Amino acid sequence: MSVDADTLATDRGHAWFLSAEELAATRAKIAKLQQRAERKGFTGLIDVAAVPATRSSTSAGGLPVTVHGFDVTITGEPPRYQGWRFVAAVDAVEGGTILRYPPGSTAEVPNDQIRPGECDHCHTTRVRRSTVLVSHDVTGRLLQVGRSCLKDFLGHNTLPVFLTQDGIANTLGGSLAGTPSAWDVHSVLTYAAAAVEAFGWTPASAFEHGRVPTRDQVRLALVGGRGADQLRDQLAPHLADATARVPRLRDDLLTGLTGSSGYEANLVVVLRGAAVDARHLGLAVSAIPAHQRLQADRQRETARQDAAQTVDYAGRVGEKVTLSGVVRTAMRVEGYTYRSPDQVMLVVDCGTAVAKMTTSAAWAYQVKVGDPLTVTGTVKAHTEWNGIKQTVLTRPKQLDTIPEGAQPSLADAAPPAPWETVPSVRLDGAQAAQRSTTTRTPSRGVAVSH
């Protein structure tokens, strides 16, 4: 195996919201970690980036409260020793392997390339809970080395002090409280599904905002402790439904998640196993929103396929047509020339047809998504987007949608008002144009065609 330092990066950074005192303490701890690494002969870097930020909330009495602090992220360069770069720590679990990367790592190693329990140094395969991936800086050669073999392999008898991102978080006090344990996958997913049903999904990052992450709710329900009885009472009405849904949910994710590395690959490994380690509890609990996203993607794909079968082209190219429907897209696009104003692109769902048009007509700037719209225009082209046929219109005009009989007769209308001068406004909403046009002000209550 080989790995390239320029492999596609993924956002492994986690942001903490810290006060000034907490930031100072964090930097002090990071400095000590860096000093320990240097004393042991490791190169590399842990970098703490802090940006002033605020968090707003409402107190129990309804008073808005804004807290000032810093958004803090930990990045850096992976540790190195004598030309070998530490790529990841490998945890062997029942379903496969889980890779945990150091701060600053941009490597993505496919999980299925890892051979659980194997060591490329001693060439022995046995039960190993953890190994280390290292890559040579010059050749890019990727080796999997057992922790007990690192001393012989590197000539050094210790691991880097900042091997993984979560290891640093634990050092800074971000680990889960209590003694690590392991729970069966079904129980974890059942409690997670019940918690999401009862309280909604709360990510781990919400902890800084005073909210209890779903991960911690599940842990409390599994382990017990202060508040566990009340939490279990709240989850009880949802457990029967969650128990019935979890097997299907698990199967859907195992067949629907196809990523060979990163989050999806790690989640599949956890779901394939029989037990969930405490270190991977948050990953297992995230299966619930992952399944919701998977279902939403499938529903969108089904709707797209249904639309592709029912939607057809309207008219022939060059023919003038009139279409009515609901606006699905309304966005501004740049004009054709430097001086021309922005135009408006509209996509209208007409049921059995989809109309697309780009225009600088004044009426188009007032149209919003969800508005009903009737337009007439000339068919410019027949195209497709995501497999759905679209009829492209040129020179579209909005038709009056006032029902017949709703317009008052001219005989009942008030006398016409005098002529007045109205400045012509630029279509892009900027300052008024230099020239003006003259028009007669219509009588009140009389519809005017444009």
Contact between 269 and 96 under an 8 Å Cβ cutoff? The reply is yes
Lowest pLDDT segment from 59-68, 297-306, 340-349, 417-426: 417-426
Phi, psi of 203 (to 5 degrees): -70, 165
Give CA–CA dist 323/349, Å, rounded.
9
110-155 residue pLDDT tens: 888 888 888 888 888 888 888 888 888 788 888 888 877 876 766 5
203-227 residue pLDDT tens: 888 776 778 899 999 988 888 888 8
Nearest to 397 by CA among 342, 360, 448, 431: 360
Torsion of CA 231, 234, 235, 240, to 10 degrees: 150
Query: In order of start, what are the domains of the chain with their CATH numbers?
Result: 15-171 (no CATH), 182-297 (no CATH), 320-398 (2.40.50.140)
Chain centroid to CA 136: 33
Mean pLDDT of the region 5-31? 63
Lowest pLDDT segment from 10-24, 51-65, 240-254: 51-65
pTM equals: 0.54
165-192 residue pLDDT tens: 555 555 555 432 334 467 888 888 999 9
Mean pLDDT of the region 284-293? 95
243-254 residue pLDDT tens: 999 999 999 999
Lowest pLDDT segment from 79-93, 127-141, 352-366: 79-93
